[in-house]
Structure 1
């Protein structure tokens, strides 16, 4: 969602219908992934971008914890043609039961929310929090030493906005 975390040129805002975001625990790592699950009553904002050189294999490798799911007919965008569009979702056979050992990384949340702020403004960031499930997990405050590999520094205003939303959701923040 954050243009600073990828090199895809031509990214555009879009809306995906029939899906909802969720922080999902998997058998692949200790911390949760942000993914999507089918939800016929939900729609979420995001970005679409051309896959460089149509190299879906390279993108599949980058997103190897996810499964590529066709979504061309569930996307609303401003393009004048129908590109091949997919959404990446954690496969069902990788889902793990939530528990106290499964956490979210604040550096990951920060990057995503920064992207929503830049693309959709404060209202878009609020929609992100409202249309995402899984906030009951503890959040590790790793801002000082980010563990998320594509972390980005936030401005003080961006940090305050993230913190305010997490506080409103009564998210438990753990210090490292």
Structure 2
């Protein structure tokens, strides 16, 4: 029987946000990331959307005991989608991989009413910087859609429940990339 693993492409790349064992770099072919919102949450969040021309980096990690309940609870706004055949990884034994994605009919582009939280983006980019270096973090930006959405600067009072403290160079990288793509930062708490 194959061991259950998940493919994380957002905050799950940042090992400081979870305690799943054996996280390893991997690539998911045929998908890209997008900032979206649903009526299930007050802010925009990342989802994976099918795109046959794109491959994204992320992390796979083992689901302890095959118990998906803890991860399903964390990722409650998503559907768990089988992805084993689309993931390139270096695990030597047989594994079964799932990716979490919001079905297309349930999400919409972000808006001022549903902004991207800077505290959430910081966590995601911190994970990419640590796991894939600057080049990997750059690829995160280029393989993610929805950068025209407003980004709520909540760093002073983070709203993202798993926010992390960034080092100055990590914050600088995020701010530089957002400036380079012309992101619209809105102030708020």
Does TM, normalized by the shorter one, top 0.5? yes
| Correspondent of 2:36 among 7, 11, 24 | 24
| Equivalent residue, structure 2, for 1:127 | 139
**Matching residue of 1:33:** 45
Which blocks of at least 5 consecutive residues in structure 1 are unaligned?
none
Matched position secondary structure for 1:84: strand
1:72–1:82 Cα contact (<8 Å) kept: no
**Structure 2 unpaired stretches of 5+:** 1-12
- Indicate the larger mover: 136-145 or 49-58: 49-58
| 1:58-82 deviation digits (Å, cap 9, x = unpaired) | 2112211110000000000111123
Partner of 2:57: 45
Q: How does 1:7-156 map to 2 (within 5 A)?
A: 7-96=19-108, 98-156=110-168
What count of residue pairs does the alignment treat as equivalent? 176
Give the TM-score, by structure 1 length: 0.97
Shift of 1:97: 5.3
CA gap 1:75/1:40 in 2 versus in 1, 3 angstroms: same
CA distance in 2 between partners of 1:39 and 1:143 (Å): 32
Say which SS state the counterpart of residue 78 (structure 1) adopts.
Answer: coil
Deviation at 1:94, TM superposition (A): 2.1
Structure 2 equivalent of residue 170 of structure 1: 182
Superposed CA RMSD in Å reads: 1.0
Q: Which residue number corresponds to residue 159 of structure 1?
A: 171
